[in-house]
Chains A and B, each alone.
Chain A
Amino acid sequence: MQAFTGLSIFTILMLMALGLAIVFGLMGVINMAHGELMAMGAYTTFGVAQFFKAFLPGLMSIYVIVGIVLAFIVTSIFGFLLERGLIRFLYKRPLDTLLATWGISLILQQVYRQFIDSREVEVPTVSWLQGAWQMTEGVTLPLSRLFIVGLAIATAFLVYMLLFRTRWGLRIRAVTQNRAMAGAAGIDTRRVDSFTFALGCGLAGIAGSSFTMLASTGPTTGQQYIVDTFIVVVFGGVESLLGTILSAFIIGQMQSWFEYGMSGSMARASILALVILVLYFRPNGLFAAKVRR
């Protein structure tokens, strides 16, 4: 049971961390607004739920799917505009990017508070995700959580295919490894930047959409996840996608097991201590690649 709770923390962390790792790994942009983009995805899903409730009550059972797709679209468009309008002017100034994106995150929080709701909002659980699957006597797994785990695995698979099996993926990997040389080989690095940033933000949107199925969304929901997400990315090794996924799994599991045995804050402190210990011995994260540069 504890393992399964860990699994649902893992899914949110992994979806968040995938997006962040792509943005951080590719452009060295520390996007402090990544958490608020997750909240944006959650609010988009909430908006879709409200819309279906009011206008299409008969189709209420499929709003979840529409919510996920729309959350991805909305956040990736926002990410695209953010990159075009702000981030690209700051590529050579990483500290300024950190401050600027932090500013964006504060603005977004205020926007959520002002124009959506200062309290937390909730979405209804659709009928086919209600109930639970009785695995054995005494162990029941809620269907909605199973759905999120499936969604996370499918998303990770699609991201993998995009990065390693398509021309766009090749461009992204080339720019990540050597930006100047990618340009000199003929790759339009500016287009790759916009595309990749939008993709990373879209993944945060999907994370937010699945988050609505676990808990209610408030203006500061994103903030609670951003630190954990950064820990996951750094722990896994910034350049390794597989590292990010496994690191999200490990940290999600640790969180749920530790919280079972001790208080919440003690659990977090223990995780941080463990991560620092690991980074002491493996400074590039768990999965630093081993090839000649």
Chain B
Amino acid sequence: MLSVDAINVFYGDSHVIHNVAFELGQGETIAIMGRNGMGKTTLLKSLIGWLPTRSGKVKLAGAPMDGAPSYQRVSQGMAFVPQGRMIFPFLTVEENILTGMEHVKEKTVPKWIYETFPVLLEMKHRKGGNLSGGQQQQLAIGRALVTRPRLLVLDEPTEGIQPSIIKDIGRAITYLRGQGDMAIVLVEQYFDFARELADSFAVMDRGEIVLAGTRETLREDEVRGWMTV
């Protein structure tokens, strides 16, 4: 579904991502772990097209994505839940969800979004900027899911969220993945959350993947070793 082949990404002159490569099959989830400032978010920004790759190739379901603007990637089946959620603050909850519906046939918010995240139905007419952090996170995920993605890219969905909502979000993602064949790239620092969702893991340090493996082959203490400061 997603093939990342030796990409290099720069912030101005500083080389942030070094030859990162991984493959992700249909319906699979990869968790990308690592400490702060090791390039995880930068990697995702380049996947959605916010940052250009200096070299290397990114393919989504076989189609090359290099240089494509974000909205084209979305129309090809990629959806993004960014760090900090990036809800449109002056749009209502309903309008926020509608922004994700540019490339689907439906004209109104599908029921299953509200069934998955009932709080969004309650808050339908409230401004996105007036929601709590956890509600915004659910809204950001809802906005990504209405695009009917083949690949969902999540940047630290648990950051600053209370545990009960983290559980809800985890359940929702598991449920939705079970519905079809959506692949997921999950950047996460919260190991227990990642372990429950992911089929494979990659640990990043200083812009490189230093450790990779599947749920079966990877040892927890090794991963945790890379995570502690």
Check if A185 sits within 8 Å of B127, measured CB to CB: no
* Contact A180/B91 with A185-B100, A186-B102, A188-B102 known, Cβ cut-off 8 Å: no
Q: Could you say which residues of chain B place their CB within 8 Å of the CB of A186?
A: 71, 74-75, 99-103, 147
Instruction: Compute how far the CA of A186 lies from the CA of B63 in the bound complex, rounded to whole angstroms.
Output: 17
Instruction: Compute how far the CA of A173 lies from the CA of B127 in the bound complex, rounded to whole angstroms.
Output: 13
The reply on A289 being an interface residue by CB < 8 A is yes
Check if B89 sits within 8 Å of A184, measured CB to CB: no
Check if B88 sits within 8 Å of A180, measured CB to CB: no
Contact of B102 among A187, A190, A292, A293 (CB under 8 A): A187
Instruction: Compute how far the CA of A170 lies from the CA of B128 in the bound complex, rounded to whole angstroms.
Output: 14
Other CB < 8 Å A-B pairs besides A173-B88, A184-B48, A293-B89, 17 of them? A170-B95, A171-B99, A173-B91, A177-B89, A177-B91, A178-B88, A181-B88, A184-B74, A184-B86, A185-B99, A185-B143, A186-B71, A186-B74, A186-B100, A186-B147, A189-B70, A291-B130
Check if B102 sits within 8 Å of A185, measured CB to CB: yes
Instruction: Compute how far the CA of A183 lies from the CA of B88 in the bound complex, rounded to whole angstroms.
Output: 12
Check if A292 sits within 8 Å of B129, measured CB to CB: yes
Q: Could you say which residues of chain B place their CB within 8 Å of the CB of A170?
A: 91, 95, 98-99
Check if A183 sits within 8 Å of B70, measured CB to CB: yes
Q: Could you say which residues of chain A place their CB within 8 Å of the CB of B22?
A: none
Q: Is the interface of A mostly helix, strand, loop or mixed?
A: helix
Within 8 A of A (CB), among B100-148: 100-103, 127, 129-130, 143-144, 147
The reply on B191 being an interface residue by CB < 8 A is no
Instruction: Compute how far the CA of A181 lies from the CA of B136 in the bound complex, rounded to whole angstroms.
Output: 14
Check if A185 sits within 8 Å of B89, measured CB to CB: no
A289: nearest residue on chain B (CB-CB)? B90
Q: Could you say which residues of chain B place their CB within 8 Å of the CB of A190?
A: 69
Q: List 7 A-B contacts (CB under 8 A).
A: A170-B98, A174-B95, A182-B99, A184-B80, A185-B99, A291-B90, A292-B130
Q: Could you say which residues of chain A place their CB within 8 Å of the CB of B175?
A: none
Q: Could you say which residues of chain A place their CB within 8 Å of the CB of B49?
A: 183-184
The reply on B50 being an interface residue by CB < 8 A is yes
Instruction: Compute how far the CA of A289 lies from the CA of B127 in the bound complex, rounded to whole angstroms.
Output: 11
The reply on B39 being an interface residue by CB < 8 A is no
CB distance from A256 to the nearest CB of B (A): 33
Check if A183 sits within 8 Å of B71, measured CB to CB: yes
Q: Could you say which residues of chain B place their CB within 8 Å of the CB of A171?
A: 99, 102
Binding site for A on B (CB under 8 A): 48-50, 69-71, 74-75, 80, 82, 86, 88-91, 95, 98-103, 127, 129-130, 143-144, 147
Check if B91 sits within 8 Å of A184, measured CB to CB: no
Instruction: Compute how far the CA of A183 lies from the CA of B127 in the bound complex, rounded to whole angstroms.
Output: 20
Q: Could you say which residues of chain A place their CB within 8 Å of the CB of B91?
A: 170, 173-174, 177
Binding site for B on A (CB under 8 A): 167, 170-171, 173-174, 177-178, 180-190, 239, 289, 291-293
Instruction: Compute how far the CA of A180 lies from the CA of B50 in the bound complex, rounded to whole angstroms.
Output: 7
Q: Could you say which residues of chain A place their CB within 8 Å of the CB of B71?
A: 183-184, 186-189
Instruction: Compute how far the CA of A293 lies from the CA of B75 in the bound complex, rounded to whole angstroms.
Output: 27
The 5 closest A-B pairs by CB, nearest first: A291-B129, A183-B70, A186-B74, A186-B102, A181-B86
Check if B74 sits within 8 Å of A185, measured CB to CB: yes
Check if B103 sits within 8 Å of A184, measured CB to CB: no
CB distance from A90 to the nearest CB of B (A): 18
A180: nearest residue on chain B (CB-CB)? B50
Check if A177 sits within 8 Å of B88, measured CB to CB: yes
Q: Could you say which residues of chain B place their CB within 8 Å of the CB of A289?
A: 89-90
Check if A177 sits within 8 Å of B102, measured CB to CB: no
CB distance from B100 to the nearest CB of A (A): 5
Q: Could you say which residues of chain A place their CB within 8 Å of the CB of B101?
A: 186
A192: nearest residue on chain B (CB-CB)? B71
Instruction: Compute how far the CA of A289 lies from the CA of B49 in the bound complex, rounded to whole angstroms.
Output: 30
Q: Could you say which residues of chain B place their CB within 8 Å of the CB of A291?
A: 89-90, 127, 129-130
